[in-house]
A and B are shown apart, each in its own frame.
Chain A
Amino acid sequence: MSILNLHNSLNTYLILAAILFGMGIYGLVTRRTLIGMLIASELILVGSSINFMAFNRFTAPDPTVGQIFTLFIMAIAAAEAAIGLSITIAVYRNYKSVDTEDIVDLKG
């Protein structure tokens, strides 16, 4: 298979989705602010969406199902981002910081 025909193979999309998922996990464990962790979680969600779309395009019999599922993932991700950012703003108002090391009141 030539490199210019890469977009017609299922493995290309699966590897790209795995790389995006890995970047999301790396950001999630290394970031020290809540907003950075939220950005990393968006990367994880988009990786899973690419997986759905790839199987939808290459193996599934009905190509509408995966697209509809990806649309639902987008809606849930938008809701998650809105809730997460409002919690971040509330935390910043109470603690004057969004650093994960400063929010330790429940730690005992």
Chain B
Amino acid sequence: MNPTDASGILGFFTADGFAGYADPLAGIVFLIMLATTIIGGIIACNSERLVRAVAGLALCFIGVAAIYYYLNSPFVAMMQMLIYVGAVCITIAFAIMLAAPEENKKKGPAGPLSGPLGLITAGLATIGMIGLAVNTKFIVLPKVNMGGVKLIGAELLTSYSMVFELVSIVLLIAIIGSLIIARHGRSK
């Protein structure tokens, strides 16, 4: 990709559509957000206290929202901030406050996979997937549109309206079901 045909921080366009950002500042911010995502993920899966794990998860999700912005989808980035950072992390924080006392916590390894064996398992999965991703030749098709918010709304209400309604029903059932499950045995 030739960086000389850039048109500033807003990115540049070719015949196939959006080609990317070419400002050096965009690259620096991307590296910072990449580091934020990975550090947040390490805190989320590795910290001893669950409250810190949730804080790391929120940090990781903020980084992922920035990654989505770089993938030319500001709408999905906004939904990531709203749903994951705003709803899921807060829900997990409430569950920790309700159901995870720190005083009677057990120490020591949790099982046969908890030590280096778990690290080897995860490392093998990661290295295998990275090898697959790097060694596969993907076919790049020309873009038929730009994928803006307007188009997403039109597609959601025409081609994907059935899935949209099904997802709303699933969410409704999840809300009612979680209320019923968590309410059981409360009046004692």
Contacts and interface: CB of A to CB of B under 8 A. Distances in A.
Interface of A: 2-8, 10-27, 29-33, 35-36, 38-40, 42-43, 46, 49-50, 53-65, 67-68, 70-72, 74-83, 85-94, 97-101
A49 B68 CA distance: 10
Interface residues of B, number: 97
Contact of B54 (A21, A32, A39, A58): A39
A77 B88 contact: yes
Contacts of A88: 95, 99
Nearest to B53: A39
29 contacts: A4-B31, A8-B19, A11-B133, A19-B130, A20-B37, A21-B125, A22-B129, A23-B122, A25-B122, A25-B125, A30-B113, A30-B114, A32-B110, A35-B96, A38-B92, A43-B41, A43-B60, A50-B68, A57-B71, A61-B142, A61-B143, A63-B143, A64-B151, A68-B152, A70-B68, A75-B83, A80-B174, A89-B95, A92-B99
Contacts of A30: 45, 110, 113-114, 118
Contacts of A57: 71-73
Contact of B38 (A2, A14, A19): A19
Q: At the interface, is chain B mostly helix, strand, loop or mixed?
A: helix
Interface of B: 1, 3, 17, 19-22, 24, 26-28, 30-31, 34, 37-38, 41-42, 44-46, 50, 53-54, 57, 60-61, 64, 67-68, 70-73, 75-76, 79-80, 83-84, 87-88, 91-92, 94-96, 98-100, 104, 106, 110-111, 113-114, 118-119, 121-123, 125-126, 129-130, 133-134, 138-147, 151-152, 155-156, 160, 163, 167, 170-171, 173-175, 177-179, 181-182, 184-186
